Chain A
Amino acid sequence: MRDCVFAIAGSTYREAVRDRVLWVVFVFAAGLVLFSRVLGWLSVEDDLKMLQDFSLSGLNMLGLSLAMLVGAFSLAREVERRTATTILTRDISRGEFILGKYLGLVGVFWSCLIAGFVVMMTWQILWGGGFAVKALAALLGLLCESLLLGAVALFFGALTNAILAAVGTVVFYLMAHSLEALYELTIYGDEVRGAWFYKMAYKVLPNLEDVNFINATASELPVRWDHLGMGALGVLCWSIVFLLGASALFRRREL
């Protein structure tokens, strides 16, 4: 990989870190982690379970918010400020530009998620909980999810304007998290209209539940690391597909 890709990744990372939106989103997620203790107090026995559940859900929402507010706006900002035109006049292809942006965004997402996880674990240990290896599975799942959401945000960013890209990223998130439940409706429930469609969608569309280990972490379910590995591989494949799509769309775009 050429140095220019890393240079773009680095500048994307620095630019995102300077963005106030990122800090607002991060503080909101950290606040949710801290607030989860209050919900724990309201429960009867499962205070630490509630803390873990809501904290991990908060981190998941952090990943989505970052993809939506930082990822989807990232490309549009470059085009709007004409910095993309300046960069692309040099010896760098549009595909490399997209890849650089993507790596920078993933770096930002991962830094925020890991920082949020550290806040969560510190908070949990402060309230008498221990560090469970299972929680790492949830974190790894969140990192994988942000890998795909970053690629999707860039894809929509290359396809349309920033607002629509953000909306598209949210719709993708909702769809990719609902596939499992839709499939479940068709196999356990009564006759569902359009069941064949849900079954087909389950097979051919990206499923973010493959890397969702939040439920397994907080409950007593065992973590299957091989499932996480397979899920991560699937997410990686889809990320490459969306990146290629983003690259193809960006190549056709007039700057």
Chain B
Amino acid sequence: MIRLLIALVCIGGAVALRGPLAKANALRRAHQFRYTPDPGLVKLASCGHRSSLADLLWLQAIPDLSAQFADLEHKERWLAGVLDVVTDLEPTFVTVYAYGSAYFDLIKGSPDSTIALLEKGVDRNPESIQLRVKLAMALMTLRGDRAAALEHLEWVMNSPDCDSFTAGYCSSILVDDRQDLVALEYWKEYLDSANEQVVGVAKLYLERTRQGIFMRAWEEFQRVEGRRPFSLEELRDDRFLSPAITDEVLACAILTDDGRLQFPRLVEEEFLRVQQRTKDWCEAYHVEHGEWPTLYQLREESKIPLPRVPEGFELRLENGQLEVVTEGS
């Protein structure tokens, strides 16, 4: 009987506590309570499951990156803390550096935190191309530190896994920095490659670099002289182009009689690149569907940006081969 009474009293007590506890919980929900752990203690508490604990904390942080918090300061403190802890628990968790830096940059608008997190990532993952490129971009755009950005990009360019986008970005910085010769030489090195695709990409980017140098010289001429150049030869001047590259750069452009600039070699290289990508995509399509795609399917289903063709011409796709032909032929 006494036992039953004790049990009933306990149940009653627990139910009575429910009210104040519910209020306390509501208060915590309103304040969006988050526990920000200390990195050292988390390592201790992880008992060897560092990766899994880092994963769990990261999963908890992902929705908070873009969530609205009533207390913004609290959100920032929590996310700064959790990003620090996760990267301490698992220093090779590249995704966390990448997304964390995007949060600091795009949402919080804190360039220093962005760069600090990426620097931590590169320091602990010196072989990560992704982090180096992101750090270089952050250094360039947020701090305007060309030298530091180039240092990382040049490291990436020396890596066999460097992608053409990064190399293009690097050469554009070099061009902006008036290191034209280096930017051009970088792409020329690949012209002797045994891999045809590499040669194709290098030719395209070489032309893009030449165009970039040309346009910079063109704009500088306009700024200095206060007018457009009447002929390309007017750019043959040390103030705008280094003598070592003048011929090569001027040869990439044509100034038409009506004063329009054209870059025929670049257009040609870009078309060749589109042709190559189209061929690869069509072959994959053929393997999958057993038939060659039509031009309509290419436009709708592939993400390849097809070039505009001049009036009187049209694009034709036959057995994966993309060509420009005269209309109606």
Contact = CB atoms under 8 A, between A and B. Distances in A.
Contact of A215 (B50, B58, B94): B50
Contact of B49 (A45, A50, A60, A180): A60
Interface in B29-60: 40, 43-44, 46-52, 55, 58-59
Nearest to A45: B95
Given A181-B40, A181-B43, A208 B48 contact: yes
Contacts, number: 69
A136 interface: no
Given A44-B99, A189-B40, A215-B90, A181 B46 contact: yes
B92 interface: yes
A214 interface: yes
**Contact-residue bracket for chain B:** 20 to 34
Counting chain B CB atoms within 10 Å of each CB, which of A43, A44, A54, A208 scores highest?
A44
Which of the four size classes fits the interface of chain A? 20 to 34
Contacts of B44: 178, 181-182, 185
A117 interface: no
Nearest to B92: A219
A220 B48 contact: no
Contacts of A221: 92
Contact of B48 (A46, A50, A60): A60
A54 B55 contact: yes
Contacts of A173: 47
Interface of B: 40, 43-44, 46-52, 55, 58-59, 62, 90, 92-95, 99, 125
Interface of A: 39, 42-46, 49-50, 53-54, 56-57, 60, 173-174, 177-178, 180-182, 184-185, 188-189, 208-209, 212, 214-215, 218-221
18 contacts: A39-B59, A44-B99, A50-B55, A50-B59, A54-B55, A60-B49, A174-B47, A178-B44, A181-B43, A181-B46, A189-B40, A214-B52, A215-B90, A218-B51, A219-B90, A219-B92, A219-B93, A220-B92
